[in-house]
Chain A
Amino acid sequence: MTSLKRSYASSTTPSTTLSSKTYLRTLRSGKVQKVVRELYLRQDIPCSSQLCSTCIDLAPAGFHGKQDPPVLSATPAGTTQYPQGHYLVPDTNAFLTAMDLFEAEDAARDVIVLQTVLEEVKNRSLPLYHRLIALTKNEGKRFYVFFNDFRLETYVTREAGESINDRNDRAVRKACSWYGSHLQDAVKARQSARCPAVVMLSDDRENLRKAKEDGLIASGLQDYVSGLPDADRLLDMVAASRDQRATRDEKAKMVYPEYMSMSAMLTGVKAGSLHQGTFSVSPYNYLEGTVHVPAFDRPLIIQGRENSNRAVSGDIVVLEVLPKDQWKAPSSKVIEEDDLTKNENAENEDESAEGVVTEKERRALQEEVKRAHGKVAEGKPQPTAKVVGVIKRNWRQYVGHVDKDSVRSEAKQSRAQQTVFLIPMDKRIPKIKVRTRQAGDLLGKRVLVTIDSWDRDSRYPVGHFIRSLGELETKGAETEALLLEWDVQYRPFPKSVLDCLPAEGHDWKVPADTADPGWKGRRDLRDLLVCSIDPPGCVDIDDALHAKLLPNGNFEVGVHIADVSHFVKPNNAMDKEASLRGTTVYLVDKRIDMLPMLLGTDLCSLKPYVERYAFSVLWELDQNADIVNATFTKSVIRSREAFSYERAQLRIDDQSQQDELTQGMRHLMMLSKKLRAKRMAAGALNLASPEVRIEAESETSDPVDVKTKQLLDTNQLVEEFMLLANISVAGKNYSAFPQTALLRRHAAPPKTNFEELANQLKVKKNLELRSDSSKALADSLDTCTDPSDPFFNTLVRILATRCMMSAEYFCSGTQAYPEFRHYGLASEIYTHFTSPIRRYADLEAHRQLAAAIDYEPLDASLQSKSKLEAVCKNINVRHRNAQMAGRASVEYYVGQALKGRVLTEDGFVMRIFSNGFVVFVPRFGIEGLIRLRDLGGGKEVESVFDAEEYSLSFGERKVELFEKLKVRIEDEAEEGTGKRKIKLSLV
């Protein structure tokens, strides 16, 4: 048998020499692979200096015959140290520590980036690698990548016992020395005198020493920079970036603490040594979370990645309270994840030297602590805890976008899996590591992901990509994104719902024959002069009203509500779907219906001029608007007119209109004012939340302007009677079903909620806010005025609203009667009855009321406390989500309306942090954070934060809480969330 010995002679191309490279690679799975690769060492890689004439024709052209011109200047800039001009050859650490320096417009030109260095940079930090690549494409900077490991003369094999770092350092030195002699030859050939120095930049002492030994020109970063003009400014860049990496070399493999076992947690919670609650992360500081637990009146604080131990906002966690000496004050600083972690690598996290808690994050929090110890007022230490386990994950699907910098290869073809970071739109959610093959396709898209797991040794949770919603910032994608983000069911109704709709479809009519079963138990109210008053363009009309003067001087007032329960029978497919959706969601330009359109906008809707089934509440009210008696009945009505608030107001005010319908409306107006006065006297709160309206161009429906919503008397008219109806129905339902009535309560806020606001008002304005009862609060809110500024009162009301609890649906059997109270409305009992088309709670109330008046028997599901509780829980969540989605939609549209505009508006300081402050702009109903860093053009500004005085001084400026100031409003596509956001800045 012939031997299979290799014939090295038969190399294919004469200019190359074959070498091979063998290395070991550890895979994610822990498996070790041995990789053998060929290397073709060549001599036709140019030095790319314009000085050199031999290299010019060296490099063969590509397929298209294009040849790259030499990059490095023939006359590079000189410095005091290198007056003859110089080329820089930085090592890996130089790039890692001082990328800012290299990016500076006026420094560091003519740089040779060695292949060895480039590879190392890529391994250490992808984002920095991308920045470096961008530099090589910047023609003015003249960065040239020299493939030293492919050039025969500069190739270095790793010697036995040599560490990979040492080998790379040696490769850098070798390349420097080759460049040095190569240039000398080139200069000689040109017979010119000036030969630029090849300067190796490194901070590694050993490397520098060896370079000197070899007779190379080498310099430390600092020394080099000091020789440059404008050294002070540039030195700052080096120094700033250097101490960020102080402990980089310590290989601290840290993992998150292990969770306790479920049984240990349950026992602990039972025994009171542990606490259970829902984890929520501060929107301003991603490293701080709070949990409300019954045992403490103030929320427990959880600070830092290690203490929050893999809990994600929304999870139900078990906590252990830390010893008192470790208690902290709530953070007064804005910390954003993106600022601290943007240079991390998604791919090989374990290769980075740091543990779960990065040095940067630790420092960010430490500064915090220092401050907390110094000042006492706001910074009173609060109970602080750490997460020891998670009872229930509340992970959902998250909308976000792929972090551009974490993508290794943007090639769309590449089928190789990469790990990339997904940055969720919701700032409280940490970055998610996602493995995907479609990284290239997903860039610049809104995508949907879920979290799959979060292991102890992974700094970030791991998830997977579900689908792309479309390009960032397109209306479709952004709308879908916010619907998903707030878990709004926007998909079509399932087909089974079709079977639940009346077969007649849009042709359905109230039967003409009153003997029809539909008429059974209904009162014929068709002769009443009923009308509806709604926002303009409303198509799902829930309610209509009428009033007439009775012979005895009292008034008959009727509130007629769409009879949805006639069409939606309990427990059929449509009912199930509606109970799941819980509410109709109103976005600026869209309505996500709870019920199919056929019902919502046609058959149920109390449209004018047609007969409709209704559920009516009829009162006899006396001149003082006190209730003489109330009756509830199913009915048939015919609305005479559908007014908008504005038109109704005009009609009432127009004294030439004397017809009966208008008279009725005037009665309603008169009565509503009395009702309102009574309610206010009882201590109902008049709270404010900023509401704006988007003006859109009628054709394109592109938003063009933002207006604050105007409130008319007719708004209050409708509101008062709806409240009255709700209260009456609540009483009726409760008396009929004391255990299972579906009611709505608004708990009195705990005193501590108002402490901060009261203190702020006291310190800044010397005003007193009392919160012992809703009446006291209402009265003291009226006194919180600033004569010089009418808006101040509204601002206080907005802030007060945020201190409140949120109202909730509940089942009467689960609370004691005193707990039924609706704090904001100052009513003993309350429910929702008046909008069954768009709220599921109202539909349930209808069913209960129908049973209470013996119209029809009550479905079993409405008699079961546990089932009702489940319904309440769901609709409470849906209700909240719907509000949030609505707000997010407004926010998006405000952003679109302001797109490309720069405006200056009045703003008010709402909240002060140690490194920024929040400003509210009433004109657009927006609030935005102004960070000191943005004011200082990217750098932290020297500032003094006084937590006691609620003020922040920086430079000449001092910003105080509640201060009115001018801000500039621009729109900006936010890097972090990919959202187009309003950016505020001080004028």
Chain B
Amino acid sequence: MPLDSSTYALAHLRVDGRRWKELRRIHGQMSTQAAADGSSYFEMGNTKIICTVLGPRQPTKSGGRDQSREAIIEVEIGVAGFSGMDRKKRSRNDKRTQEMQYTISSAFASTVFTSQYPHSTITIVLHVLSQDGALLAACINAATLALIDAGVPMQDYIAACTTGSTASYASNDEDADPLLDLNGMEELELPFLTMGTSGGEDKVNVLVMETRIQMPRLEAMVSVGLDGCKQVRNILDGIVREHGKKLLSSR
């Protein structure tokens, strides 16, 4: 069995050899599925997501006479059976997945200019190919790229990442370092939160935390998270610009 996060204190190195403020390798591509209105492929370490965006289009659900003045954002997350360490089928109705869908949908509802598309639906479909931590964050980032690819007008990117803390909630270890972008193994052991930012300096759009942690430790985590989101945003921006360049040059 390899070492776990308890050895961090020995040399400030994490289980995969990173330092506290380093992101994993991030890789993204746009327009990967020609059939969709917008699509992207996104990797954060070994977490791999394919995202397709359909719409804006007429609501497909039959009978629904939609009176709303804004576009509805639907999110579907499919987790591939082979994505985790154990082959496990996660049903679409799993509450955790539904909660994630809701989170992504309401995050984009406030960033996309939905009022421009009344009576219509934008569907974001996310396929999780591989999981190794930061699932929600990777989904959000992938969706951002796909929405841009689809040409849906948005106020800003939503850039997301996770932050954790080396020490557990009860040990009053003042030297606890916040950690950026946890991998799957670290997520199992350490407290962490997922954070998404958009709309300028330090504006938090999504913040989800599911593990117990002492309040004083939150501050460092949030500030490191904001910094991480900024880094992610730059990377996303780079990907978009690269893609744009390619598009223009291929014309």
A and B touch in the complex (CB under 8 A): yes
A115-B3 contact given A10-B26, A62-B20, A63-B220, CB 8 Å threshold: yes
Contact B189 A414 (CB under 8 A): yes
Q: With A2-B32, A33-B85 known to touch, is A413 a contact of B22 (CB < 8 Å)?
A: no
Indicate with 1 or 0, residue by residue over A341-356, a CB within 8 angstroms of chain B CB atoms.
0000001100000000
Quick check: A122 and B168 within 8 Å, CB to CB?
A: no
User: With an 8 A cutoff between CB atoms, is B1 at the interface?
Assistant: yes
Q: CA of A622 to CA of B18 in the docked complex: distance in angstroms?
A: 98
Complex CA–CA separation, A146 to B43 (angstroms): 30
**Interface segment, B8-16, B59-67, B69-77, B113-121?**
B8-16
Taken residue by residue from 238 to 250, chain B's Cβ proximity to chain A (1 for < 8 Å, 0 otherwise) reads as: 0000000000000
Q: Which residue from B6, B132, B171, B235 sits with its C-beta under 8 Å from A412?
A: B171
Complex: how many Å from CA A1 to CA B178?
Answer: 40
Are B85 and A38 in touch, CB under 8 angstroms? no
Q: State A31–B185 Cα separation when bound (angstroms).
A: 19
Contact check, B25 vs A12: say whether CB atoms are below 8 A apart: yes
User: Taking the nearest CB of chain B, how far is it from the CB of A818, in angstroms?
Assistant: 66
Please report the C-alpha to C-alpha distance between residue A7 and residue B26 in the assembled complex, in whole angstroms.
Answer: 10
Q: Does A409 contact B (CB under 8 A)?
A: yes
Interface flag for A68 (CB, 8 Å): yes
**Contact present for A12 and B171 (CB under 8 Å):** no
Is residue A776 within 8 Å, beta carbon to beta carbon, of the partner chain? no
| Interface residue ranges of B132-179 to A (CB < 8 Å) | 132, 167-171, 174-175, 177-178
Q: Is B225 an interface residue (CB 8 A)?
A: no
Contacts of A60 in B (CB 8 A): 12, 19
Residue A436 interfacial (CB < 8 Å): no
Taking the complex as formed, is A118 at the interface, i.e. its CB lies under 8 A from any CB of chain B? yes
Closest to B174 in A: A64
Instruction: Tell me the residues in window 1-47 of chain B with beta carbons closer than 8 Å to chain A beta carbons.
Output: 1-4, 6-7, 10-13, 15-27, 29, 31-34, 41, 43, 45-46
List residues of chain A with CB within 8 A of the CB of B43: 6
Stretch at the interface among A40-48, A260-268, A664-672: A40-48
Q: Would you call B211 an interface residue if the criterion is a C-beta within 8 Å of the partner chain's C-beta atoms?
A: yes
B55: CB under 8 A from chain A?
no
Any chain B CB within 8 A of the CB of A35?
yes
B27 touches A16 (CB 8 A): no
Contact B185 A37 (CB under 8 A): yes
- Say yes or no: B211 contacts A413, CB within 8 Å: yes
Q: Which of A446-497 contact B (CB under 8 A)?
A: none
Interchain CB contact under 8 A, B175 and A62: yes
- Most chain-B Cβ atoms within 10 A of its Cβ — which of A4, A64, A411? A411
Interface of B is mostly: loop
Could you tell me if B22 and A36 are in contact, using CB atoms closer than 8 angstroms?
Answer: no
| A40 and B20 alpha carbons, distance in the complex (Å) | 13
A36 to B29: give the CA distance in the assembly, Å: 23
| Residue A145 interfacial (CB < 8 Å) | yes
Instruction: Say whether B56 faces chain A, with CB atoms less than 8 Å apart.
Output: no
* Interface size class, chain B: 35 or more
- Which residue of A has the minimal Cβ distance to B183? A38
Q: CA–CA, A115 to B15, complex, Å?
A: 11
Determine whether the beta carbon of A413 is less than 8 Å from that of B170.
Answer: yes
In this assembly, does B193 line the interface, its C-beta being within 8 Å of a C-beta of chain A?
Answer: no
Complex-state Cα separation, A25 to B86, whole angstroms: 12
Asked if B11 contacts A59 (CB within 8 A), the reply is: yes
Q: Does B207 reach chain A (CB closer than 8 Å)?
A: no
A460 to chain B, nearest CB (A): 20
Whether B12 and A411, one on each chain, are in contact in the complex, defined by CB atoms closer than 8 angstroms, is: no
Tell me if A13 is interfacial: C-beta within 8 Å of chain B: yes
Known contacts A7-B27, A63-B178; A413 and B17 CB within 8 A of each other: no
Q: How far is the CB of B188 from chain A (nearest CB, A)?
A: 6
Is residue B190 contacting chain A, with contact meaning CB distance below 8 A?
yes
Complex: chain B residue closest to A348, CB-CB: B1
A10: contacting residue among B11, B25, B34, B213, CB under 8 A: B25
Complex interface bits, B215-231 against A, C-beta within 8 A gives 1, otherwise 0 = 00000100010000001
- Does residue A934 face the partner (Cβ distance < 8 Å to B)? no
The residue in A12, A25, A119, A122 that gathers the most chain B C-beta atoms within 10 A of its C-beta is A12
A4 near B11: Cβ-Cβ < 8 Å: no
- The residues of A that contact B174 with a CB separation of less than 8 Å are 64
Contact A412 B189 (CB under 8 A): no
- A87 adjacent to chain B (CB < 8 Å): no
- Interchain CB contact under 8 A, B177 and A62: yes
Q: State whether A409 touches B4 (Cβ < 8 A).
A: yes
Which residues on A sit within 8 Å (CB–CB) of B18? 16, 40
Contacts of A415 in B (CB 8 A): 188
Cβ-closest chain A residue relative to B43: A6
- Are A1 and B16 in touch, CB under 8 angstroms? no
Distance to closest chain B CB from A930 (angstroms): 39
**B191 contacts the other chain (CB 8 A):** yes
Q: Is A376 at the interface (CB under 8 A from chain B)?
A: no
Q: Smallest CB-CB separation from A414: which chain B residue?
A: B189
- Answer whether residue B57 sits at the interface, using C-beta atoms and an 8 A cutoff: no
Chain A nearest CB from B180 CB (Å) reads 10
B212 on the A face (CB < 8 A)? yes
Residue on A nearest B213 in the bound complex, by CB = A413
Q: Which of B26, B31, B213 sits near A2, CB closer than 8 Å?
A: B31
Contact with B along A699-713 (1 / 0, CB 8 A): 000000000000000
A600 touches B (CB below 8 Å):
no
Residue A42 contacts which of B15, B17, B85 (CB distance < 8 angstroms)?
B17
B11 touches A45 (CB 8 A): yes
Q: Which residue of A lies closest to B221 (CB)?
A: A63
A139 → B minimal CB distance (Å): 14
A6–B4 CB distance below 8 A? no
A86, B140: Cα distance in complex, Å: 54
Q: Mark A13-32, 1 if CB is under 8 A from B, else 0.
A: 10010101000010000010
Contacts of A11 in B (CB 8 A): 25
Name the distance in Å between A148's Cβ and chain B's nearest Cβ: 11
- CB-based contact B29/A12 at 8 Å: no
CB distance from B25 to the nearest CB of A (A): 5
Please name all residues of chain B whose beta carbon is closer than 8 Å to the beta carbon of A348 when the two chains form the complex. Answer: 1
Question: Of A66, A408, A416, which is within 8 A of B188 by CB?
Answer: A416
Query: Judging by beta carbons under 8 Å apart, are A38 and B16 in contact?
Result: yes
Verify if A136 is at the interface (C-beta below 8 Å from B).
yes
Across-interface contacts of B231 in A (CB, < 8 A) = 12
Given that A37-B185, A38-B45, A40-B17 are known contacts, is A413 also in contact with B27, CB under 8 Å in the complex? Answer: no
Q: Mark A113-134, 1 if CB is under 8 A from B, else 0.
A: 0010011001100000000010
Q: How far is the CA of A552 from the CA of B146 in the complex (A)?
A: 118
Q: Which residues of A contact B32 (CB under 8 A)?
A: 1-2, 4
B17 A118 Cβ-Cβ under 8 A: no
A440 in the interface (beta carbon within 8 A) = yes
Complex Cα gap A66–B6 (Å): 18
Contact of A12 among B178, B188, B211, B235 (CB under 8 A): B235
Does A555 count as interface, using CB distance less than 8 angstroms?
Answer: no
Contact between chains at A36 and B46 (CB < 8 Å): yes
- Name the CB-closest residue of B to A136: B10
Bound-state Cα–Cα, A409 to B220, Å: 24
Query: Which of B15, B22, B33, B168 touches A1 (beta carbons < 8 Å)?
Result: B33
Please, which residues of chain A bring their CB within 8 A of the CB of B16?
A: 37-40
A145 touching B220 in the complex, CB below 8 Å, given contacts A1-B32, A37-B16, A409-B4: no
- A147-B13 contact in complex given A2-B32, A440-B168, C-beta closer than 8 Å: yes
Given contacts A10-B26, A145-B10, 9 further A-B contacts (CB under 8 A): A10-B25, A36-B46, A38-B183, A40-B22, A63-B220, A64-B177, A123-B1, A147-B13, A409-B4
CB-defined A-B contacts under 8 Å, sample of 28: A2-B29, A2-B34, A10-B26, A12-B235, A13-B22, A16-B18, A16-B22, A25-B1, A33-B86, A37-B15, A37-B185, A40-B18, A45-B11, A59-B11, A62-B175, A64-B175, A68-B12, A119-B1, A123-B1, A409-B4, A409-B6, A410-B6, A411-B6, A411-B189, A412-B168, A412-B171, A413-B212, A416-B189
Q: Which 3 A-B pairs have the closest CB atoms?
A: A413-B168, A150-B17, A40-B17
Interface residues of B (CB under 8 A from A): 1-4, 6-7, 10-13, 15-27, 29, 31-34, 41, 43, 45-46, 85-86, 132, 167-171, 174-175, 177-178, 183, 185, 188-191, 211-213, 220, 224, 231, 235
